[in-house]
Every structure is written in structure tokens, then in C-alpha cells.
Amino acid sequence: MESQSSNDRSSLPALARAAARAFEERFGMPARWLIAAPGRVNLIGEHTDYNGGFVLPMAIERYTVVAAAPAPSRHPRRMTFQSAMSKSAVEIELEEPQRRGEPPWSNYVRGVVAGFESRSVPLPGLCALIGSNLPVGAGLSSSAALEVGVATLLEIASGRALDPVDKARLCQTAEHEFAGVPCGLMDQLACILAEDEGPLLIDCRSGESRTVPLADPDVSILVVNSNVRHSLDDGAYARRRAECERAAEGLGVPTLRDATAEMVDRAREALGPVLWRRARHVVTENARTLAAARALAAGAVREAGSLFYESHSSLRDDFEVSCAELDILVDVAQGLGEERGVYGSRMTGGGFGGCTVTLVRSGQVEAVSGELRREYERRSRRTLDTFVSRPVRGVHALETKDWV
């Protein structure tokens, strides 16, 4: 797919048009469908989802798009997926059991196809091209966007719509079984259910969610990519999840969602220092997430910002998933303070790299971004990328006029 200029790189219509053109060049026919699946930034509530807790993600103006059409009649039981980013392709034979394979990105697609087959949904042959302006490994849910985009395409092509929560669980299972990442449900739910009025407060146990309005135009969500790429399939993420399960077992509760701060404090010696810190993070993060949702809904930005800083400290010290570069970004933001436009900042995503999310006074976004860039480059010898996003709707099929 052709590169995009800085002026249109966040434009969904431009991304859709480029994907449609690339599809026609690759397959020699026009696309019939085009699906847009947004990434997400999690405002607060980290590593709580797989513990049955609360999260507050917001879909962002960065997307994975899937352009597709029925396969030629000579291949009625074959799916071909082309990646515009890696220039690689995969062919999936629908007459054969789905297995993991190469290239690595194809496992997200294979897993979603397997999920539909396990639900006895008859699937047609397809040709598809995947494009994206979501950075990979930045903690903005590029994998969930791909899974949900493919799942939505398969719904439309098969004529079988899934319940939204079931679709999210199908995509989560794909990531567990085919990509090897034992993720929670937050990313998939956010990509499917997001609304453009504000972030979603999601109960990851029940799958229930509600939109938290962000009505103040004087407050912007600034996403800062450290350009330290993280990989959640390298074992550290799985270890954190296993530690949480052991902590819950030690506390005698089904999940850490069921624990209280008092229970965790009483069990400090029995749990040992590592499991105690993991449990303390999850319990306090659940409380912070609910409090931040109330604060943002009430326009109490200072209170929300304070909770962001507390969340980052907990992720750094108790859950140990931050890194030096993320800590620099939060430290610089906190040093700027409200006087220079910053209300709060924290790492976002699984950790070990990726992005921070910062609440900034809208009129000072450019100045804050510039100061973060200068100090980050000075202290880390790395460059960063920043963008501001408003909340956007979840995955959806685009109308033909949006790409023709």
C-alpha cells in the first residue's frame, strides 16, 4: 500500500482508499467490502482485565482496515490474506483444520477463522488485503484490531452476525491459542463496542460496559509512543498472569477481582513479596479505574490526572511492567505540571515499552509535545511520536463512498 503523508496518516478515508487501490492491484478486481477496526488506548485499568476487573479504554483514530471480495470461482474454499505492511500473504484452505503457521501475523487470522468454524459457521472463499496505520508493539491493540476486523469481515461474508461479547471472546481465544498471548478481554471489547462520546468503562467479568462522556473540549488525550517496541508473547506477560492466579489462590478467591485491600494486606507474609505486590496492584487499580471514570464524567480532570500518576507508580513498582523510557516520559510530564498544561500521565498497554497516555489542556498540547520530545531525546537518546485522538466508534463496515 502506498505510503501516507503526515497530513493524512490518521485519516480513515485516506487509509481506506489506499487499501482499496492496493486490493485491486493485488487481486485484479474491486473490493466489495471494507472493514475499519480501531486501535485503542487504555486510559486506566492495566492488567485488571484478565483478573475479572475494570478497565477504561478508548478507541482511537488509528485503524486496521480489511478490504475484501469473494474469491474467484476456481478457489471457492480458499481464503487469501495479503498484508500491505509486510508485503507477505497467506492462503487458508477451508477444507483443512486450522493450525498455527507463518508468517506470524497470519496466526491472528487463522485463529479467527478457526473460531468461526468451531461455531459451525459456513465460510466462503475470500480475497482480502490488510492495511493499517496502527504502530505494532506500541500497546495500542494492533493485534485486537486485526482480529476484530477479520471477524467482522467473516460475519458479513457469511451472513452470520455474532453477539458482540461472543465475538470478543472468539477473538480472545484466537490470540490465546494461535498467537500464544494469554490476553484479557479488554482490547477486543473496546475495538467492538467503543462509542465516539468517550471511553468505555468495561466490567471484564460480565462483559458489560457503559460510555463515560468526555465533554470538555479543553482537555485532550495525548498519546506518546516511546518507540520501544514490546512483545507480549515473550513470556513476561504470561508470567504476570500466572502470578495473579497464584495470588488469588493464596487469598482463597476465584480471581483478584474478588479480593479487597484488607485481604491483601493481611496476607502479605503468606503471599510473599512478589505475589503481594501483584495482588496489591490489581486491587488498587480496580479502585482507581472506577474512581477515574467518576472523575472524568464529572469533569474533575485534576482528580483523574492524580489517579493516572498513582496508576503508573503501581505498574512500575508493584507490577513491574514499566521500563526506563516510559518512566522518563511520565516523569517529564509530571514535572511540567498543570501550570504548563499537564493533568496526569501514565504508561498504557501491557508494558515493557509502548506508549504513555497523558491528559493535557488542549491549548497547550503542542508545547507539551515539544517538551516531551526534547527531554526524552536528551535523556534516552531515542525519538518519540505523539498524536492526539478523540474517541471514535468501534469496528464497522465502511460505505462504498468512503473509499471510491
Q: Give tens-digit pLDDT for 253-282.
A: 999 999 999 999 999 999 999 999 999 999
Residue 5 maps to a domain:
no
Regarding whether 189 and 244 lie in a shared domain, the answer is: no
pLDDT, residue 358, reads: 98
Question: What is the structure's pLDDT at 233?
Answer: 54
Co-location of 155 and 284 in the same domain:
no
Residue 102 lies inside a defined structural domain of this protein: yes
Instruction: Kindly state the cell numbers that stand for 101.
Output: 503457521
Position 171 in a domain: yes
Dump the DSSP string for 21-75.
HHHHHHHSS--SEEEEEEEEEESS--S-GGGT-EE-EEEEEEEEEEEEEEPPTT-
Task: Please state whether 271 falls in left (phi above 0), alpha (psi between -120 and 50) or beta.
Answer: alpha
- At 229, list the grid cell: 517496541
In the chain, % of residues over pLDDT 70 = 96
pLDDT digits (tens, 9 = 90+) for 153-194: 999 999 999 999 999 999 999 999 999 888 888 899 999 999
Q: Is residue 4 part of a domain?
A: no
Average predicted confidence (pLDDT) for the chain:
93
Residue 260 lies in a domain: yes
The reported pTM is: 0.89
Q: Is 216 a catalytic residue?
A: no
Q: How confident is the model at residue 137 (pLDDT cuts 50, 70, 90)?
A: confident
At 230 the pLDDT is 65
Shared-domain flag, residues 344 and 357: yes
Q: Average pLDDT for residues 351-363, to the nearest whole number?
A: 95
Residue tagged active-site, from 49, 163, 187, 317? 187
Residues 16 and 157 in one domain: yes
Same structural domain, 176 and 325: no
Q: Dump pLDDT digits (tens) for 111-129.
A: 999 999 999 999 999 999 9
Give the pLDDT band of residue 10 (cuts 50, 70, 90).
Answer: low
Q: Are residues 161 and 232 in the same domain?
A: no
Residues 185 and 218 both lie in one domain: no
Distance CA 191, CA 242 (A): 26
Report yes or no on 117 lying in a domain.
Answer: yes
pLDDT band, very low/low/confident/very high, at 130 (cuts 50, 70, 90): very high
Host domain of residue 308: 213-388
Are residues 129 and 113 part of one domain? Answer: yes
> Is residue 20 located within the same domain as residue 134?
yes
- Would you say the C-alpha torsion 215, 219, 220, 226 has a positive or negative sign? negative
The β-bridge partners of 397 are 35
Residues 18 and 66 in one domain: yes
CATH number at residue 196: 3.30.230.10
Give the pLDDT score at 3.
33
- The pLDDT, as a whole number, for residue 9 is 45
Residues 93 and 198 in one domain: yes
7 located within any domain: no
- Tell me: do 262 and 151 sit in the same domain: no
For residue 250 the three cell numbers come to 493464596
How many structural domains compose the chain? 2
User: What CATH number is associated with residue 380?
Assistant: 3.30.70.890
pLDDT tens readout for residues 274-327: 999 999 999 999 999 999 999 999 999 999 999 999 999 999 999 999 999 999
pLDDT in tens, 217-260: 899 999 999 999 866 656 888 899 999 999 999 999 999 999 99
